[in-house]
Amino acid sequence: MKYLFFALTLALTFASSPAGVAADDVPTIHIGTTPIDAGAEPYYAQAEGFFKSAGINVDIQAMANGAVLAAAVASGALDIGQSNVVSIASAHERGIPFVLVAPASLYTSKLPQSALVVSATSPLRTAKDLNGKTIAVNGLKTISQLGPEAWIDNNGGTLSTVKFIELPFSAMEDALTSGRIDAALISEPVLSDARSHGLRVLDNVYDAIGKDFLIGAWFTTSSWAKAHPDLVRKYVAVMQQTARWANAHHSESAKILQTETQTPVSSTTMRVVFGETLDLVQIQSLLDACAKYGVIKASFPASDIIATQH
């Protein structure tokens, strides 16, 4: 986390650049995202002509990870980026002026995309059974650790005895079957593959944070949002339109996603649910969990990281 803060602090020393203007005087928004389902809304909107209908051009740039993307937004190299709310909360605590403009991926217990899993032969059944055990997550002090922590804490386990280690999703199944770890928080599309190989779901642990809460969002700097209120409004409207389309057209969006990411998307893969509005309640539950489990020092009102609409 300290390296991300250092990168963002350096980035803020650069002058922010205004949104570009195309030759035909149609403004261009420079967008950064990670090439996964949760970050694919701009690709869907571009393919379906939603940006064109709104009167804006877009330059979509795929970024390797959230740290690079956040630094690019902070420096003005990008206008809007996609990130998880946990990272935005951490940046806010450190004085980085990021604000959310539109929702991206939404966790809903009706269609869980992540779960705590164990091997097929594991005797573990309850939160108490995890006392003294080792759990793998794909990022320490991220949403993937917060979910299991909240679930263990809420269901009678002793969280202080549990050890968390960081592993990529792709390495978790082998670590479980070999006995090197006791449980793992796995997300789609790896989750479907793991279940087909016999791994057993212990529980949908994100439910311990909330039945519905915002995981990812589109963000910018407060200065860019204030300088470009019309572009922010147009982008928000397009993302809302795209969320409605993507949530109802999985077969069509799968083709676009495969083209942009070069990753196969099967008909059985649990797809991302996109939020349509920035719901303060859905954001606050995650901020409170971040504070309770030490990702940030103290919670704060969700409205503090929402861009003011003019």
For the domain made up of 114-208, the CATH class stated in words is: alpha beta
**Sheet of 105-108: strands edge to edge?**
212-214, 105-108, 273-274
The CATH number assigned to the domain with range 2-108+212-305 reads: 3.40.190.10
d(CA 70, CA 240): 22
- Among candidate residues 60, 15, 11, the one with its CA nearest the CA of residue 39: 60
Model pLDDT, residue 308: 83
The answer to whether the predicted template modeling score (pTM) of the entire model surpasses 0.85 is no
Domain boundaries, the chain: 2-108+212-305, 114-208
d(CA 14, CA 108): 39
Model pLDDT, residue 169: 87
- Among candidate residues 176, 95, 172, the one with its CA nearest the CA of residue 139: 172
- pLDDT per residue over 221-275, tens digit each? 999 999 999 999 999 999 999 999 999 999 999 999 889 877 777 777 788 999 9
The domains spanning 2-108+212-305 and 114-208 adopt the same CATH topology: yes
With pLDDT > 70 as the criterion, what percentage of the chain qualifies? 92
